[in-house]
Structure 1
Amino acid sequence: MIQDTIAAISTAVGEGGIAIIRISGPQAISGTDAIFRSKISLKDADTHTVHYGHIIDPASSEKVEEVLVTVMKGPRSFTAEDVVEINAHGGVIAVKKVLDVVLQLDGYRTAEPGEFTKRAFLNGRIDLMQAEAVIDLIRSKSDRAFSVARKQAEGVLSKRIKALRQTVIELLAHIEVNIDYPEHDVEAMTSAYIREQCELAIAEIDKLLKTANEGKILREGIMTAIVGRPNVGKSSLMNVLTQENKAIVTDIPGTTRDVIEQFVTLNGIPLRLLDTAGIRETSDVVEKIGVERSRDALQGADLILFVLNYNEPLVDDDRQLLEQLKDRSVIVIINKMDLPGRLELAEVEQYVSSDAIVRMSVLQESGLDILEATISEMFFEGQLEANDLTYVSNVRHIALLKRSKQSLVDAIEATHVGIPIDVIQIDARQAWESLGEILGDEAGDSLIDQIFSQFCLGK
């Protein structure tokens, strides 16, 4: 049973209209009441009410800050414990003074990263999948990613995993009966039932895994490297896509010396853009380091935007890079279409499909809509589903679903070769445990600690 009470600043550090200190635990209300002066005692306050007053320094009895205090009595709170939120004036000094007074109370300590959400999980208010969705809500970079995370936080995906576990537990119960009462076992019927239940579960897992690629992209974004020779318009493209002057643009080749990263959303598609140094042979020591980093970014990219200059013919550096990118997800951008053409498009089409060639003028901001449509077609088969937001987006969940599926496949194969039913039970139980690990039912303490350590302080 949790005995201590935790407190932390829940709003971002810096100046703002208000700052919120969140407190959770058995002494949240009584402790805060000892340093709060108002017309009503917080102990007597109704749950989910807000009260005006002042935080008092118990050592000097002086007013520290004018505040609004919200009382939420467990289990009707985020952590399922008594929770108090102190709304103070936004500002580093004001909120720090209040937090210092709060942490002087007996039984209080500073919350660890993610500990409020962890308590919600430990107290049974949410499962581990819902807890992880809270991180995704905070980190969402697009409306659709936010919607997917919100659905997961509400438990939509958890319900499907629980239904899967129910299918497997029914299979396990049937196997247990046949192990305990072998005299009533009809081997042919048992094998058929095992295959039927396993195939039902596998079909549902396959439906979820089908969304994994799109879900992972929505969660993490498409790692997109903008590459090409110097002075073809890479940095200009970066600036147009981000609507910022993030990268320095000049007519001098080799201006970009390092990899610049920026997150953007194109028509609902999240991209982690990497503007790289122009790839070419150079004797400049600093530029050479930039070129090497560009090559590293190229290796780790999910998508490569290879920029060519319409006003220049292909050179050997272009041909070599195009040859290297033949088996990669690449879109060739023919930039500077507003200038006279000296580039042989037919030669470019020897390396990539015409569907993966986009003609643009970054200067005139033309062709952006075609680029967006091409990326969408490449990664989402044209469009994302508008209504079904049940995407599997977490790498941990994807791995466990695959592990569960393999265990079920092993169980089916075991029935065909006459393996004893008590051995088949091991495969079925492994599938059930893998699904339980997604929800947190079978997760160890070290995994739980690792997951919640990724949260920001105060969440």
Structure 2
Amino acid sequence: METIYALSSAGGRAGVAVIRVSGPEAIFVLEAMSGRPAPDARRAVLCRLFDPATRVELDQALMLLFEGPRSFTGEDVVEFHVHGGRAVVAGVLGVLSGFDGVRAAAPGEFTRRAFENGKLDLTAVEGLADLIDAETEGQRRQALRQMEGALGRLYDGWRGRLLKMLAYAEASIDFADEDLPEDLLARLGPELAGLANEIQSHLDDGHRGERLRDGVEVAIVGPPNVGKSSLLNRLAGREAAIVSDEAGTTRDVLEVRLDLAGVPVTLADTAGIREAEGLVEKEGIRRGLARAESADLRLVMVAPDSQGGLEGNFDLARGGDLKILNKADRASGGLAGEGVLAISALTGEGVEKLVAALTEKVEALFGASENPVITRARHREGLVDCVEALEAARMGLMSGLDPALVAEDLRMAMRALGRITGRVDVEDLLDVVFRDFCIGK
């Protein structure tokens, strides 16, 4: 196993830069560059770093040693906390590259070694990546729980129950001449149904975790000149969209990013919906309608017309959408109607209430949950495969299918869960068989 190194803090000029080394030569590198014995593990020591070949001083730094397996990667890990100037960092990295058996790390290689050495499962690895990329408080909280193992523990618990069921099925096949309970296979039916229901309930989450991780899409839709672009600008706090009395100004979907209750929201201003007068506007309306259809939430906007009625209607609204009457300062009483938020994007009247209502909806539907949630499509695919295999096993039991085929369905279910966490181990199955039935006593 080669020793790897990398700059672990952000590149560029900084007060402090952290350079990490992991592998069997890490302690040798530390002692060679500092000219002193390795310090006690997890104790920061101030030292001078040198190029061992020339004895040229590189920097005055802090060094720390994390002895394996009690380290991030499970190997011996050394950290040099050096001054963050480009020349200092380049000098230290250049010296590290000159050691035999030491090379620059590939992207993600420290984390990969942590996974290979059993320090993290795949869901925790993904949680770490999400934590690094988190832009909002909700994303941070969700990623931190996942990195700390909340999702992995849930799936490992289900996997443990599956292992026991599979062990029972295997025992009924391979040890039929042993003194085993006669209803061994029959016992599995309720357990299979219970586990399948738990996983299905986990799946029926409205894609809450994925939306929090990737962001919620909110589209502003309505006819031309009702103030959609003005509202976008008001919520963005800047002139993100061109505002004009001329109909059809917005020809493409314009976007701004917002943080509502810790949830990242992409707010999209779409082209005014009407009979298009040209090919470009027609394409803009098509894109706007497509964006409205795929959005998680919609702000359906109308405004008073010159005859005292409404410009547009709420036909595009669906359950959960917010209905908005803009230019409320020009509207006569009764135009808003029940469940309609009256605002003025121009003056800001009612916009605070609109933001509060939108925030409440976003938080209720997609805000951070205290329970582990699915955060990636591959998790969902694995869980769907697991439920399908569990249902196949249950139906096989009910129809008197060969126990070997039932066991194969259980293996498929277990492999589906194992793909999510990266843990599939046949030895675990053998342990359960021998522990529960004392075969060969």
TM-score class, shorter:
0.7 to 0.9
TM superposition score normalised by structure 2: 0.82
Residue 114 of structure 1: aligned partner? 108
The alignment status of 1:101 with 2:92, answered yes or no, reads no
Residue 207 of structure 2: aligned partner? 213
CA–CA distance in 1 between the matches of 2:54 and 2:423? Answer: 48
Residue 417 of structure 1: aligned partner? 399
The alignment status of 1:426 with 2:417, answered yes or no, reads no
Q: Go from structure 1 to structure 2 and tell me whether the alpha carbon gap of 1:176 and 1:389 turns closer, same or farther (over 3 Å shift).
A: closer
Residue 433 of structure 2: aligned partner? none
Deviations 1:358-388 (A, max 9, x none): 332333252434444356447736x9687x3
SS of aligned partner of 1:305: strand
Deviations 1:218-275 (A, max 9, x none): 2222122233444433344334434455445555655555444343221333312233
TM superposition score normalised by structure 1: 0.79
CA–CA distance in 1 between the matches of 2:280 and 2:57? Answer: 57
Structure 1 residue 291: Cα displacement: 4.8
CA contact (8 A) 1:305 1:332 kept: yes
Residue 402 of structure 1: aligned partner? 384
Structure 1 residue 198: Cα displacement: 0.3
The alignment status of 1:197 with 2:195, answered yes or no, reads no
Residue 234 of structure 1: aligned partner? 228
CA–CA distance in 2 between the matches of 1:416 and 1:277? Answer: 56
CA–CA distance in 1 between the matches of 2:5 and 2:154? Answer: 35
Q: Go from structure 1 to structure 2 and tell me whether the alpha carbon gap of 1:442 and 1:258 turns closer, same or farther (over 3 Å shift).
A: farther
SS of aligned partner of 1:120: helix
Structure 1 counterpart of 2:377, one-letter code: V
CA contact (8 A) 2:172 2:185 kept: no
Q: Go from structure 1 to structure 2 and tell me whether the alpha carbon gap of 1:261 and 1:426 turns closer, same or farther (over 3 Å shift).
A: same
Structure 1 residue 327: Cα displacement: 5.4
Residue 329 of structure 2: aligned partner? 338
CA–CA distance in 1 between the matches of 2:3 and 2:190? Answer: 50
Q: Go from structure 1 to structure 2 and tell me whether the alpha carbon gap of 1:33 and 1:256 turns closer, same or farther (over 3 Å shift).
A: farther
CA–CA distance in 1 between the matches of 2:26 and 2:206? Answer: 41
Identity of aligned residues (%): 35
Structure 1 residue 113: Cα displacement: 2.0
Deviations 1:118-144 (A, max 9, x none): 111001111111111111212223323
RMSD of Structure 2 on Structure 1 (CA): 3.4
Q: Go from structure 1 to structure 2 and tell me whether the alpha carbon gap of 1:257 and 1:12 turns closer, same or farther (over 3 Å shift).
A: farther
Equivalent residue for 2:25, pick from 15, 24, 27: 27
CA–CA distance in 1 between the matches of 2:310 and 2:98? Answer: 70
CA–CA distance in 1 between the matches of 2:328 and 2:91? Answer: 60
Equivalent residue for 2:258, pick from 249, 255, 264: 264
Residue 78 of structure 1: aligned partner? 72
Structure 1 residue 431: Cα displacement: 1.0
CA–CA distance in 1 between the matches of 2:300 and 2:68? Answer: 56
CA–CA distance in 1 between the matches of 2:289 and 2:301? Answer: 15
CA contact (8 A) 1:238 1:273 kept: yes
Structure 1 residue 94: Cα displacement: 4.0
Alignment of 1:31-50 (within 5 A): 31-36=29-34, 41=36, 43-50=37-44
Residue 67 of structure 1: aligned partner? 61
CA–CA distance in 1 between the matches of 2:31 and 2:301? Answer: 63
CA contact (8 A) 2:138 2:368 kept: no
The alignment status of 1:358 with 2:352, answered yes or no, reads no
The alignment status of 1:152 with 2:150, answered yes or no, reads no
CA–CA distance in 2 between the matches of 1:236 and 1:434? Answer: 49
CA–CA distance in 2 between the matches of 1:178 and 1:344? Answer: 72
Residues 117-126 or 283-292, more deviating: 283-292
Structure 2 regions of 5+ residues with no counterpart? Answer: 426-441
Residues 45-54 or 362-371, more deviating: 362-371
CA contact (8 A) 1:212 1:393 kept: no
